[in-house]
Structure 1
Amino acid sequence: MDTQWLEDVLVLLEEGNMTRAASRRNITQPAFSRRIRGLENWIGAPILTRGTNRIDINAALSANEDEIRALAARIRALRGKIANFDPESTTVAIAAQHAPIFSTFPEMALHAKQYYPSLKFRLRAGNHHDCVSLFLRGDTSMLLCYETENTEPLPFGDTVRREIWGSDQLIPVVGGGLRYGVTGDAMIASDTPAIVYPEDSYFGEVLGKAERPFGTQGFTDNPVCESAFSSGIKEMALKGLGVGWIPFSMAHREIETGEFLSLSHKLGHEPLAIALYADAREEAAVALLNIWSTKHRSGGALNTAAPA
C-alpha cells in the first residue's frame, strides 16, 4: 500500500470534493482519481460511488475516519523515529531480575556508554516472572534475566530477539563465624543454618529441581531465613547468619579476600546464562542488544563462571 493514499483519503473526507482535494494535494484531478482507485484496489472494495454527474463518498470511509487518522499519524511518527533515530537521546526501559542488576548490569551500562554517552536507562526490578510480565506487556523494551542450561529460551516469537551477555554460576557460600565450621576438605555439617530461597522463586525452582542442600526448605535441615533476593542473602551470609546460594559474580571478590568460603566443590553449582531479550520493533533496544551481544561473541564480556 502507498502510505500517501491515507493522506489523500483524509483530504477527500475534509473537502468532500475530488477537484478541491486534488488541488490541496498539489496534483491533477485525474492523477488524484487514479490514486483513489489504487486504494480501492488494495482494499478490494469501492470507497466512492461514481455517478454520471456526481461522486459520493462511501459511508464506511466516513465511519472509520478516526481510525484512518490514527493510522496515518502512527506511520508518520514511525517514519520520524527511524529517520531521526539517535540512541544518545533515548531512555531504554529494561525489566531485570534483582541479581543481575547487582552482578551484571553495571558493566553492561559502562560498555553501552562507550557508544552512546548520553543514553539513559530505566530499570524495572522484579523476580523472574514479574520481569517477563513487564516485558510482555510492553512496559519495557528489554529483558535481562538468568536462564539455566537445562531450560529453553523464553518463547516470545518473531518480534523479540534474544542474545547472551555472558555466563554465571549459582554457588553455595558461607561467611562470618560459620567459615570456621568448614573442614579442610570443604565439608560442612548438614544442620548448619541456611538462608534459603522460596520454592516458588526462580532460584528456588532451580535449586529445588537439582535437590541442592541449603538451597530451599525442602533440602535444608536448619533454615533460619527465607528470601527471594540474592543481594540480601549475600549480606546475611557475609555476617555468618547461614549458608547461602548466590551468583558467583556477586561473591567472587569476597571469595578472593577470604570473607566467603565457596562450598561448590562439595555441594555443586548451577550453571546460568545471562540472557538479553529485546523488542525488535524498538530501535534503541535493538541497538543496545547488538553492541552487548557483539562484546559477548568477541569474548569481551565478563565470564563470571566459578572455577569447577
Structure 2
Amino acid sequence: MDTQWLDDVLALLEEGNLSRAAARRNITQPAFSRRIRSFEDWLGVPVLNRKTNRVEIGEALISNESEIRAILSQLREMRTKIVHHDPKANTVRIAAQHAQVFSRFPDMALKARKKLPGIKFRLHPANLSDCVSMFLRKDASMLLCYESELAEPLEFGANVLRGSWGRDYLIPVVGGSMRFAVKDGGDIPADSPSVVYPDNSYFGQVLRKKERLFGTAGFSTNPICETAFSTGIREMLLKGLGVAWLPFSMVHNELQSGDVISLANRLGKEPMDVAIYADRNNPTALSLFDIWGSAPK
C-alpha cells in the first residue's frame, strides 16, 4: 500500500469533494480518482458511491476517519524514529545485581560514554532472580550479573547475546575491630560472628555448594545477620560486625589501605564471571554490547 493514498483519503474526507481534494493534493482530478481507485483495489471494497450525476463518500470510510489518521501518524512517527535513530542519545535500561551496580558499573559507564557521549542509563538494581524476570519481561534491554559454574546457568533464547566484562572473585574478609582477631597465619576463630547469605540467594548457592565457612548459616557457628544485599554486607563488614564473603571488586580499595583483611589464603575464594546479556532487538543495547562484551558465548 502507498501511504500517500491515506493522505488522499483524508483530503477527500476533509474537502468532501473530488475536485477540491485533487486541487489540494496538487494533481488533476482524473489522477486523483485513479489513486482513490488504487486504494479501493487494495481494500477490496469501494469507498465511494459513484452515481450518474454525483459521487458520494461511503459511510464505511467516514466512520473510520480517526483510525486512518492514527495509522498515518504512527507510520510517520516510526519513519522518523528509524531515520533519526541515534544510539548515542538514547537511554538504556539495565537490570543489575546490587553488587554489580556498586563495583563494576561505574567503570563500564565511563567507558561507554567515551564512545557514546550522549548515552544515558536507567539502572534497576535487584537480586538476580528479579533482574532476570525484569530482563525477560523486557523491562530492561540489558542484564548485568555474576555467574559461577557452581550455580545453575542462565538460559535465554537466540535473541539474547552474552558477553563478559572479565572475572571477579568472592573472597572472605574481615574489617573494623575484627581485623585484630586474625592470627599471624591468617586464621580466625571458627566461632567468630559472620554476616551470611541466604541459601536461596545466588552467592549463597555458590558458597553452600563448596561448603565455604562463614558463607551461609549452615556453615557458620555464629551467624549474626543473613542477607542477600551485598552492599549492606559491605557496610556491616567495615563496622567489624562479622566475617563476610564479598566480591573482590567491592573491597579492593579497603584491602589496599588495610581497612579490610582477606582470609582467602586460608578459606579459599570462588571465581565469578561478570556476565553481560543484551537484547538483540534493541539497537542501543547492541551498541553497548559492542563496547562492553567480548565475543558471545
Q: Normalising by structure 2, what TM-score? A: 0.77
2:76 aligns with: 76
1:174 aligns with: 174
Q: 1:264 to 1:52 in 2, by over 3 A?
A: farther
Q: Please say if 1:94 is aligned against 2:76.
A: no
Larger Rg: 2
Q: CA deviation at 1:224?
A: 0.6
Secondary structure of residue in 2 paired with 1:203: helix
One-letter amino acid of the structure 1 residue matched with residue 261 of structure 2: F
2:207 aligns with: 207
Of the structure 1 ranges 213-222 and 108-117, higher mean CA displacement relative to structure 2 is found in 213-222
2:224 aligns with: 224
How far apart, CA to CA, are the structure 2 residues paired with 1:194 and 1:48?
78
1:46 aligns with: 45
Q: 1:182 to 1:80 in 2, by over 3 A?
A: same
CA contact (8 A) 1:213 1:219 kept: yes
Q: Please say if 1:104 is aligned against 2:104.
A: yes
CA contact (8 A) 1:49 1:56 kept: yes
How far apart, CA to CA, are the structure 2 residues paired with 1:95 and 1:107?
16
One-letter amino acid of the structure 2 residue matched with residue 75 of structure 1: L
One-letter amino acid of the structure 1 residue matched with residue 251 of structure 2: A
Q: Deviations over 1:50-109 (max 9, x none)?
A: 6565465472x5555444433432332232223223444433333322211111111111
Q: CA deviation at 1:111?
A: 0.7
How far apart, CA to CA, are the structure 2 residues paired with 1:41 and 1:163?
50
CA contact (8 A) 1:191 1:222 kept: yes
One-letter amino acid of the structure 2 residue matched with residue 46 of structure 1: V
Q: Deviations over 1:113-162 (max 9, x none)?
A: 2123343333232222333444455544433233334544452663x544
CA contact (8 A) 2:142 2:276 kept: no
Q: CA deviation at 1:21?
A: 4.5
Secondary structure of residue in 1 paired with 2:173: strand
How far apart, CA to CA, are the structure 1 residues paired with 2:235 and 2:63?
62
1:1-308 equivalence runs, <5 A: 1-15=1-15, 20-27=20-27, 45-46=44-45, 48=47, 51=50, 53=52, 54=55, 56-57=57-58, 59=60, 64-149=64-149, 150-155=151-156, 158=159, 160-182=160-182, 186-258=186-258, 259-263=260-264, 266-278=267-279, 280-281=281-282, 283-293=283-293, 296=294
Q: Deviations over 1:151-177 (max 9, x none)?
A: 44452663x544333332322222334
Q: 1:256 to 1:10 in 2, by over 3 A?
A: same
One-letter amino acid of the structure 2 residue matched with residue 48 of structure 1: V
CA contact (8 A) 1:171 1:264 kept: no
One-letter amino acid of the structure 2 residue matched with residue 226 of structure 1: E
How far apart, CA to CA, are the structure 1 residues paired with 2:148 and 2:63?
52
Q: Deviations over 1:212-241 (max 9, x none)?
A: 332222332211112222122122223332
Stretches of structure 2 that go unaligned for 5 or more consecutive residues are none
Tell me the matched-pair count.
291
Q: CA RMSD in A?
A: 3.5
CA contact (8 A) 1:22 1:32 kept: yes
Secondary structure of residue in 2 paired with 1:113: helix
Q: CA deviation at 1:272?
A: 2.9
How far apart, CA to CA, are the structure 1 residues paired with 2:139 and 2:167?
26
One-letter amino acid of the structure 1 residue matched with residue 45 of structure 2: P
Secondary structure of residue in 1 paired with 2:171: strand
Of the structure 1 ranges 112-121 and 209-218, higher mean CA displacement relative to structure 2 is found in 209-218
Q: CA deviation at 1:247?
A: 1.3
Q: Normalising by structure 1, what TM-score? A: 0.74
How far apart, CA to CA, are the structure 1 residues paired with 2:90 and 2:39?
36
How far apart, CA to CA, are the structure 2 residues paired with 1:133 and 1:237?
30
One-letter amino acid of the structure 2 residue matched with residue 242 of structure 1: G
CA contact (8 A) 1:176 1:238 kept: yes
CA contact (8 A) 1:146 1:272 kept: yes
Of the structure 1 ranges 133-142 and 103-112, higher mean CA displacement relative to structure 2 is found in 133-142
